[in-house]
Structure 1
Amino acid sequence: MSKWDEIKKRLEHLGGSVDLLADGHKLSLVKLHNKKTIFVRVYVNDLVKFEWTKAEEEKPVHSEGRFWRPMKRAAYKKKAYPSLKRIFGKKEADRAVTPRVIGFVPDFGTEGAAVAHLKKHFPDLEIVEPEQEASE
């Protein structure tokens, strides 16, 4: 079983968690719920600081934001495209309805989404076994 499958398996059930090491940071992934919504939250060094959500030029301002999900939004909805095109022209209208990264959030909708993000950006991360934590 690959480490990616192992991470998904540990996050399969509500309350499931897994600790990881990536780029010198300890990541804790926990499957939580908020009333009817179930999601996976990523804690970096056992913290979630919302100053880490900031983005400049579609990159995280703080290095801890790299582990979180990029949140993309467009300035206008696609529904407004025809009127924007008449007002500003095609080039500007295309730019206005194209989503871009405006911040980073610690929550992923599914364990698969969290694993896909980590797999893409941190292929060499390690799973920290519970007995390793106790001995440190």
Structure 2
Amino acid sequence: MDKWKTIKERLRHLGGSVELLADGHKLQLVKAHNGKRIFVRVFVDGSIDFEWTKTEGGKPVHPEGRFWRPMKRAAYSKKHYAALKRGWGKKEADRMITPRVIAVVPDFGTEGATVAHLKKHFPDLEIKADEVAP
């Protein structure tokens, strides 16, 4: 079975988890909930340090942040576009409503989104040896 399918399969149910090795770091993916929504949380080397959420120029400041989801937000919502265009001009108004990466967060909405991110950025990751089923 493909390693990406194996990861998705293990995260299919609430409480599911899998340990991975990527770029010299140990990742633990855990499917959890907070009472309102279900998500996949990524632990890097067994912990989450919210210092790792910082970004500069859309890239994570700390190397551990590369494993997390980039969070994009715009300075203003599109409903304010007309007023921004009148006040600042079209070019500046377009820049103000364009989403930019403002942080990286350890939660992904689905296991598919988690796998897609890891597949894109870490194609050579491995499932930890003691995690592989016989």
1:21–1:125 contact (8 Å) kept in structure 2? yes
CA–CA distance in structure 2, aligned partners of residues 86 and 36 of structure 1:
40
Give the aligned partner of residue 50 of structure 1.
50
Give the aligned partner of residue 34 of structure 2.
34
Give the aligned partner of residue 89 of structure 1.
89
2:19–2:131 contact (8 Å) kept in structure 1? no
CA–CA distance in structure 2, aligned partners of residues 109 and 59 of structure 1:
20
Give the aligned partner of residue 122 of structure 1.
122
- Report the CA distance between 1:66 and its aligned residue: 0.2
2:19–2:28 contact (8 Å) kept in structure 1? yes
Residue type at the aligned position of 1:103:
A
Q: Which runs of structure 2 are paired with 1:1-136 in the superposition (5 Å)?
A: 1-130=1-130
Q: TM-score, normalised by structure 2?
A: 0.96
- Report the CA distance between 1:129 and its aligned residue: 3.5
Secondary structure of the 1:26 match is strand
Deviations 1:105-124 (A, max 9, x none): 00000000000000000000
Residue type at the aligned position of 2:116:
A
- Report the CA distance between 1:36 and its aligned residue: 2.3
- Report the CA distance between 1:131 and its aligned residue: 5.8
Deviations 1:62-103 (A, max 9, x none): 000000000000000000001101111111000000000000
2:40–2:108 contact (8 Å) kept in structure 1? yes
Residue type at the aligned position of 1:68:
W
- Report the CA distance between 1:29 and its aligned residue: 0.1
Gaps of 5+ in 1: none
1:19–1:129 contact (8 Å) kept in structure 2? no
Alignment coverage as a number of residue pairs:
132
2:17–2:31 contact (8 Å) kept in structure 1? yes
Gaps of 5+ in 2: none
CA–CA distance in structure 1, aligned partners of residues 14 and 123 of structure 2:
25
